[in-house]
Structure 1
Amino acid sequence: MSIQTIRLFGDPVLVTPSNLVVDFDKELRNLVRDLTETMQAAPGAGLAAPQIGVPLRVFVWDVDEELGHLINPTLDLSADLQEGEEGCLSFPELRYETPRAFRAVAKGFNMHGEPVTVEGTELLARC
């Protein structure tokens, strides 16, 4: 496992649709670990696989001392919005007031292929 280079705005991988994960294998577990180490080293609250050049539907987060990951996520967002300053590791040093859903429910899988549901509000809902 290792810290990877974060792709920046303008990199085509950031605007290319990502692929579903179909193999829940050692390579996927290594990807989750690389994403986590890279996010924490940056530091950031969340990081998706395309941000390190891997076009797969995988993301990790570290919010309010909760570290997690989700594979092939789907989202259900509340209609209630929150305004807050937001940044992105692929746009370093830029932060903007951005409206986002106040509450989000994300469903997907963990790195072992087991179903996972994550419910979050405020910052976790933003990730």
Structure 2
Amino acid sequence: MAIQPIRLFGDPVLRSKAIEVVDFDKELRTLVADLTDTMLEAPGAGLAAPQIGVGLRVFTWNVDGEVGHLVNPDLTLSVDEQDGPEGCLSLPDLTYDCRRALSVVRSEE
């Protein structure tokens, strides 16, 4: 597919709430492919659709060699936490040590 430019801090799309995906079609498949290609090229551990200018609830990840995506994610954070550096592709070359959930799981509906 295509590598897309990553929107940087200050871009209005990053401050807008992403909307739920309702059409599971060719355009969504293209979006997921573009997100994945862009994330891997960056390289990054995750990328959300608004970071490439698309205001939809779609997210890709690359963790421990596992690449995947979620559409309309609803996640539950673990009680266990970890400390470590955290970065964001929309804030390049900036990392902070922070506390975050050790793991997340998709919430069951």
Query: Displacement, 1:107?
Result: 4.4
Identity rate, percent: 66
The equivalences for 1:1-127 within 5 A come to 1-107=1-107
Residue segments in structure 2 that go unaligned for 5+ positions in a row: none
Tell me, in whole angstroms, the C-alpha distance in 1 between the residues paired with 2:77 and 2:61.
17
Choose between structure 1 and 2: higher strand proportion: 1
Residue segments in structure 1 that go unaligned for 5+ positions in a row: 109-127
The Cα offsets for residues 38-90 of structure 1, whole Å up to 9 and x where unpaired, read as 00111111100000000000000111110100000001112222111011000
Tell me, in whole angstroms, the C-alpha distance in 1 between the residues paired with 2:74 and 2:99.
20
| SS, match of residue 73 in structure 2 | strand
Amino acid paired to 2:83: E
| SS, match of residue 76 in structure 1 | strand
| SS, match of residue 31 in structure 2 | helix
Count of matched residue pairs: 108
Amino acid paired to 1:16: S
